[in-house]
Structure 1
Amino acid sequence: MSSTSTASSGLARTALRVSDWAERWFPDAYIFAALGVVIVALAALAIGAGPTATAVAFGDGFWSLIPFTMQMVFIVIGGYVVASSPPVARLIDALAAIPKNARNAIAFVAIISMLASLINWGLSLVFGGLLVRALARRRDLAMDYRAAGAAAYLGLGASWAMGLSSSAAQLQANPASIPKTLLPITGVIPFTETIFLWQSMLLTLVLVVVSALIAWWSAPGAHEAQGAEHFTDVQNDKSIEVDNATARLPGEWLERSPLLTVLVVLLALGWVVHEFATKVWYIAISNLNTYNFLFLMAGLLLHWRPRGFLDAVKRAVPSTTGVLIQFPLYGGIATILTVAKGPDGHSVADKLSHLFVQLASHDTYALVIGVYSAILGFFVPSGGGKWLIEAPYVMQAANDLHYHLGWAVQIYNAAEALPNLINPFFMLPLLGVLGLKARDLIGFTVIQLVVHVPLVLFLLWALGSTLGYHPPVLPATP
């Protein structure tokens, strides 16, 4: 047996062992979120925050993520509606026909997911999930459904924050979005100093290549693979469109006619043209509301008749249940971390930030802040929201240490993705599409995490050493 085959089978066995352990011991994502609430509440009490203040913070924060929750729900619905439409379903089926064996199929899913996430992370989740389902319908592959699902998640665990999806880079490049208290600290940082740095693009390329190789090496063989039939039925989930426009009942005529579709889409097109004419395209598309609007309207158009569109929405809604019931708990966690304060006026997040920032020097800044962002990201899994919490003291530390501000943003971005590999927060939409549980993916994503942590931290340190410091650049006053 070759050394490559030996390494491959060794990773696969490790992934399967972790999967077996996770299947036995790893809780449902809701239990994970509830435990997070208890742990963070105990931490708040430990620093001296009163029981009443901690409880009030939890209650006040419980509904704080409702807009984001609904955006996530519509990401799932919009992505599913588009991907299950006849034209896109044919594209997915064509892509699913490309891989020649199960291991190549899993690596193929990983690459598609990571590249798609550079455009938009929501697209990578839903498109990747439906690509896995299409591959699972192939009887000739003997593909492990769990490993393929983990590969579809790599866009969120490896590359999403290094592309146009990066909330932190988008915010720092747009003067109107930067809070007034943060602007003097960071100034405006264009994409040329963050995601378009050659150092950033090299880091992204390395992550894509390494992640795809790990997905390939850790894929179980045919005798160990568990197909989709062990978890869900993928043989009868293809979109079924109405091929007869004649209404069975008079009241159904408009449901089966494209008339309303055309009128609604034309109205939507007017708004889209105005939105992109008045904003830079990558700023417009980075807005989740705009993204969801585009996908819903595209889904309506691709299904052509309202009846087909509504049937697709109905099939998508069950995939959103985990998002709806768990995101409020994460809102409570974030608020306890930042609002419940001890007698000295500091919160748990303040204590963590001061601990890590005090440990940093110019040479160790990338390592310390990278570790800190990854740890806090496990408890506050929100790229943009967490950046607003971290940015004031993280970027002030960068200024004090004369560290490149744009690379400080990229340190946050790369480290932010690491906890996603084992945190079920962003797994939920994909899990809904696949019909899996978080523990089904963890065995394979843990292998990725073990490799990613030292690799990412080393590259952040090494590439950061090639950049010099530039003071904050404030926008010109009119």
Structure 2
Amino acid sequence: MFQALTNASVRMVQRYLPDAFLFAVILTFLVFVAGIVVNGKSPLEMVSFWGDGFWGLLSFTMQMVLILVTGHTLAETDICKKGLRAVASMAQTPGRAIVLVTLVSCIANWINWGFGLVVSALLAREIAKRVEKVDYRLLVASAYGGFVVWHGGLAGSVPLTVATEKHSLQDVIGVIPTSETMFSAMNLTIVIAIMVILPLVNRLMLPAEKDRIVFKGADLGREETAATAAPAADENSPAVKMENSRIISYLISAIGFVYLISYFVEKGFKLNLDIVSLAFLFLGIFLHGTPRKFLDAMGEAIKTTTGIVVQFPFYAGIIGMMTASGLAASISQWFISISTPTTFPLFTFWSAGLLNVFIPSGGGQWAVQGPIMMPVATELGVSHAKVAMAIAWGDAWTNLIQPFWALPVLALAGLGARDIMGYCLMMLFVTGAIISLGFLLF
């Protein structure tokens, strides 16, 4: 029965899911019409809201690009590659390959979502070289599936935002330490439950051998080689010597590491987006050894951000329409109207999951829902930390069916969104049940 449901999900997605960019365009049209029908705005007003919001997330987009690029660059260091090969060697059967990729993806995304997306995709590629008869679509879907835990992890933007001094809602909820959000018993229980159950679920989705699609792309087994269109420079020139100087890399890394140490000594283990990016950046510089190797890796990493750079403004436009038209508030208010103090965190999670389809951004999600949900939490006497994590988990949960964040994984794997989203839809149902139960039990 489970296999039949999985096969039906895969067939439906293959038939109806458009390209990720078209998905964003279709969402734009849906929100445009909804703002007119539900909130009574005029078409001209909706166009104005869209245009006003279109460039509204440039700063946040840069933060997201940096996390992705620095995570990718770190994953390309020799020590990380050797680690990937060592981990891949443990996958000796198709079933074990699926379990292993899912588990590694969960752990890596919990540490850092940019690093996790890239490492899990690279691991899937490495395993595909080694393990015969593993379904490549499910393997890549498993690599992406672990992304569902990111907002409950060390790089979760909502828990890091509310833990940062002078955040936008500090006057309402104060500063909430990470011990009450990402390191709370509730959050850790949800994360561990997903890490245990999701690999088993993905293993159950493995198609019969006759139905598996084994990827045999010409580039899969090819070792990456550095190439440049420019003529080779004189190796003895001062410029080339500086580019290949380990001393320069180690000195600038030392400055970064000293700053990180002093930061943690002064403020304790308080993570935020800038600190996470800085740590991965200087680890990448240090482990690559020379500026030239680091810059080459950065150049490759930046290629994976194309979809983010192109599509994020469209989602910013959607956010502009959702916010200015009052549509996001209307959705949130409806969930509030049916809530009790016991169910409020659960319904906040569900509403965040729904809104995330239109606003696939942790920061954007918080900007829209935080000002609405937090005053209500105060009135109902519900923990601000718990409601913040409900928004965070809702944002992470429906990313499983939002092609936007799958783009880096798909780019590395050489697949399209339609290839993996049928499996991701099944993961959505399973993880949704786990997270919902977590908010009801704690």
Aligned-residue offset at 1:50: 2.7
Which amino acid counterpart does residue 269 of structure 1 have in structure 2? Answer: F
Deviates more, 1:320-329 or 1:382-391: 382-391
The 2-side partners of 1:106 and 1:320 are apart by 26
Structure 1 392/437 Cα, relative in aligned 2: closer, same or farther at 3 Å? same
Note if 1:333 corresponds to 2:322. Answer: no
The partner residue of 1:452 within 415, 431, 439 is 431
Deviates more, 1:29-38 or 1:348-357: 348-357
The partner residue of 1:260 within 248, 253, 264 is 248
Structure 1 226/122 Cα, relative in aligned 2: closer, same or farther at 3 Å? same
The partner residue of 1:33 within 6, 13, 24 is 24
1:57-97 per-position Cα deviation (integer Å, ceiling 9, x unaligned): 21221112222323333333322222222221111111111
In structure 2, what is the equivalent of residue 471 of structure 1? Answer: none
Determine which structure has the larger helix proportion and give its number.
2
Aligned-residue offset at 1:147: 1.1
Is the contact between residue 162 and residue 175 of structure 2 (CA under 8 Å) also seen in structure 1?
yes
Is the contact between residue 57 and residue 332 of structure 1 (CA under 8 Å) also seen in structure 2?
yes
In structure 2, what is the equivalent of residue 474 of structure 1? Answer: none
Note if 1:57 corresponds to 2:45. Answer: no
Which amino acid counterpart does residue 272 of structure 1 have in structure 2? Answer: L
Map residues 53-452 of structure 1 onto 2, 5 A cutoff: 53-138=45-130, 140-157=131-148, 159-174=149-164, 176-179=165-168, 182-229=169-216, 233-238=219-224, 248=235, 250=237, 252-283=240-271, 286-287=272-273, 289-340=274-325, 347-452=326-431
TM-score, reference length from structure 2? 0.90
Aligned-residue offset at 1:17: 4.1
TM-score, reference length from structure 1? 0.83
1:306-358 per-position Cα deviation (integer Å, ceiling 9, x unaligned): 33333323333332221111111011111111123xxxxxx111211222211
1:389-418 per-position Cα deviation (integer Å, ceiling 9, x unaligned): 212332222232233333222322333322
Root-mean-square deviation (CA, aligned residues, Å) is 2.7
The 2-side partners of 1:85 and 1:100 are apart by 25
Aligned-residue offset at 1:110: 1.0
Identity %: 30
The 1-side partners of 2:176 and 2:283 are apart by 33
Which amino acid counterpart does residue 109 of structure 1 have in structure 2? Answer: V
Aligned-residue offset at 1:102: 1.4
The 1-side partners of 2:78 and 2:346 are apart by 48
The 2-side partners of 1:267 and 1:407 are apart by 37
Structure 1 237/59 Cα, relative in aligned 2: closer, same or farther at 3 Å? farther
The 2-side partners of 1:409 and 1:41 are apart by 28
Is the contact between residue 247 and residue 256 of structure 1 (CA under 8 Å) also seen in structure 2?
no
5+ residue gaps, structure 2: 228-232
The 2-side partners of 1:184 and 1:60 are apart by 27
Is the contact between residue 13 and residue 421 of structure 2 (CA under 8 Å) also seen in structure 1?
yes
Structure 1 249/435 Cα, relative in aligned 2: closer, same or farther at 3 Å? farther
Aligned-residue offset at 1:249: 6.2
Q: 1:309 aligns to what SS in structure 2?
A: helix
